[in-house]
Amino acid sequence: MSQILVVVGSLRRESFNRQLAEALVKLAPSDVTFKFAEIADLPLYNQDDDANQAEPVKRLKAAISASDGVLFVTPEYNRSVPGVLKNAIDHASRPYGQSAWAGKPAGVIGASIGSIGSALAQQHLRNILAYLDMPTLGQPEAFIHVKDGLFTEDGQVGEGSREFLQGWMDAFLAWVSKHVSKHG
Ligand code: FNR
């Protein structure tokens, strides 16, 4: 049984990435539990506050610590990760030496209305996660191009992408399990 923290890099009400995250959760076996990180109420990161982190920051760090792995689902903003996602990552990486991310296995996936499906944002995110010492699933990569039919009306992955995304989710969960059994 694993507990996965899902971090969605968009705050938009109708976010495709949130829909993707919610559809991915439905592809997992029932013994895997998911929690969605709340990042909308985090203050802007300010190093002056490291010794006195705000409650939402403490809450995020506790959620990361309680998880076996982290699933990042991100859009691409101007060829990189959205600021809200970077803000959350920076908060939980501090104070220096007390990063909540260190050692947590991660998966990176994302969707975009653009044809490269958030590939460059994902690549930037991989650099950040490498620095944070998060072992990150390398393959399969998943750059999801949002088109009609990607999701069904009831929020499942549409037929055209289901096999691929099922394979991605299976690989991600196996990655987390491998890491948990090695270190847990
Ligand atoms: C975008 N979008 C975008 N798409 C892309 O493929 N590459 C990019 O660099 C950008 N840049 C960008 C910047 C900003 C500020 C916005 C608001 C949007 C389009 C983006 O993929 C689209 O809005 C998605 O729908 C955002 O994801 P959510 O919110 O639907 O999850």
Q: Is the CB of 16 under 6 A from ligand 1?
A: yes
Position in ligand 1 atom list of the atom nearest CA 112: 21
Residue-wise pLDDT tens digits, 29-42: 999 999 999 999 99
Q: For the domain that residue 119 is a member of, what is the CATH number?
A: 3.40.50.360
- Nearest protein CA to atom 10 of ligand 1, as residue: 77
Q: Exposed/middle/buried for 115, CB within 10 Å: 0-12, 13-18, 19+? A: exposed
Tell me: the pLDDT tens digits for 57-94?
999 999 999 999 999 999 999 999 999 999 999 999 99
pTM above 0.95, yes or no: yes
What's the Cα-to-Cα distance from 121 to each of 29, 75, 89, 127, rounded to whole Å? 28, 7, 14, 10
Q: What are phi and psi of 143, to 5 degrees?
A: -110, 100
Range of the domain at 172: 2-183
Number of domains in the chain: 1
Distances (CA, A) of 59 to 4, 91, 112: 15, 11, 29
Which of 7, 20, 78, 125 for mutating ligand 1's site (highest number of atoms within 8 Å of CB)? Answer: 78
**Amino acid in position 73:** V
Tell whether ligand 1 has an atom less than 6 A from the beta carbon of residue 161: no
